């Protein structure tokens, strides 16, 4: 994994260096003739010779030909056709202005206008293009890839296994206690059998006494008193 990251860093560095290289070798746009543009020069061929001598052309630069469509064109021709202004079989030709031509190869390039006698009276251009040169980007010092640090795992909370304290219900008061069913006849409160109200209770009989009963002695007493009264 670390080797992959190092290779990725190197690739990105090379891409950045390439961008910097192109930025350093940024194309330059050359406006042909400057204010004169691409027209028949009033001073003859010397106008474009003087302009070209003040420029530095490199591969990748752009030539901008400013002209009005229908009045001029831009044709690239060979050296042999350039001198006598031979307009037959040009290397390339563009008739719609303005024209932007990118310089793709080093060497000497020749451009003329093929309209009428414009080339013969001085509407022609010769330039020398050098290879693109740019200051190479500084060498990148090798960097040591940073060690991979695994992401810190977030601990998963475990459910608590603590048993909740028991819940005590208040004991019922004496008033809330279950009522005691009243005893039914034939059963005593302690669980024994009680006599039914319909049953007769036999009272214990008194022990026999040897004293004479009042009802048995009373007649003799009254009889003795009556006889004593008459006599």
Question: Which pLDDT score, from 0 to 100, does residue 226 have?
Answer: 65
In terms of C-beta distances under 8 Å and separation of at least 24 residues, what long-range contacts does 35-43 make, across chains too?
37/65, 37/66, 37/67, 38/65, 38/66, 38/67, 38/72, 38/74, 38/97, 38/99, 38/113, 38/123, 39/67, 39/72, 39/123, 40/113, 40/118, 40/121, 40/122, 40/123, 41/121, 41/122, 41/123, 43/122
Q: Is the pLDDT of residue 148 over 70?
A: no
Question: Which pLDDT score, from 0 to 100, does residue 152 have?
Answer: 61
Question: Which pLDDT score, from 0 to 100, does residue 27 have?
Answer: 85
Q: Is the pLDDT of residue 150 over 90?
A: no
> Which tens digit of pLDDT belongs to each residue from 183-222?
444 444 444 454 444 444 455 555 544 444 445 555 556 6
In Å, how far are 97, 189, 215 from 225, measured between CA atoms? 190, 61, 17
**What percent of the chain shows pLDDT beyond 90?**
43
Pairing verdict, β 62-65 and 29-31:
parallel
Separation of alpha carbons 57 and 109, rounded Å: 11
Domains of the chain (ranges; CATH) run 27-130 (2.60.40.420)
Separation of alpha carbons 93 and 83, rounded Å: 17
Q: Which residue has the higher pLDDT, 93 or 196?
A: 93
Structure tokens at 24: 């350093």
Separation of alpha carbons 199 and 186, rounded Å: 10
Question: Which pLDDT score, from 0 to 100, does residue 203 have?
Answer: 52
Separation of alpha carbons 124 and 83, rounded Å: 10
pTM of the model: 0.50
**Exposed, middle or buried by CB within 10 Å (0-12, 13-18, 19+), for 112?**
buried
Structure tokens at 43: 């001073």
Q: Which residue has the higher pLDDT, 60 or 170?
A: 60
Give the H or E element holding residue 12: helix 2-24
């Amino acid at each position: 994994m670390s080797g992959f990251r190092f290779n990725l860093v190197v690739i990105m560095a090379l891409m950045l260096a390439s961008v910097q290289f192109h930025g350093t070798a940024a194309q330059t746009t050359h406006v042909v003739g400057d204010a004169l543009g691409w027209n028949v020069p009033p001073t003859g061929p010397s106008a474009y010779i003087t302009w070209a001598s003040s420029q530095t052309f490199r591969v990748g630069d752009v030539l901008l030909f400013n002209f009005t469509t229908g009045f001029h064109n831009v044709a690239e021709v060979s050296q042999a056709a350039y001198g006598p202004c031979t307009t037959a079989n040009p290397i390339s030709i563009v008739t719609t202005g303005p024209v932007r031509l990118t310089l793709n190869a080093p060497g000497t390039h020749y451009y003329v206008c093929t309209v009428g006698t414009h080339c013969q009276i001085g509407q022609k251009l010769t330039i020398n293009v050098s290879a693109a040169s740019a200051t190479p980007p500084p060498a990148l010092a090798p960097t040591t890839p940073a060690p991979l640090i695994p992401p810190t795992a977030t601990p998963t909370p475990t459910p608590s296994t603590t048993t909740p304290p028991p819940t005590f219900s208040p004991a019922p008061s004496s008033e809330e206690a279950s009522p005691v069913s009243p005893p039914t006849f034939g059963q005593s409160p302690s669980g024994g059998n009680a006599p039914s109200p319909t049953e007769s209770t036999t009272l214990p009989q008194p022990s026999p006494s040897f004293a004479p009963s009042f009802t048995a002695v009373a007649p003799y007493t009254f009889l003795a008193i009556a006889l004593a009264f008459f006599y």
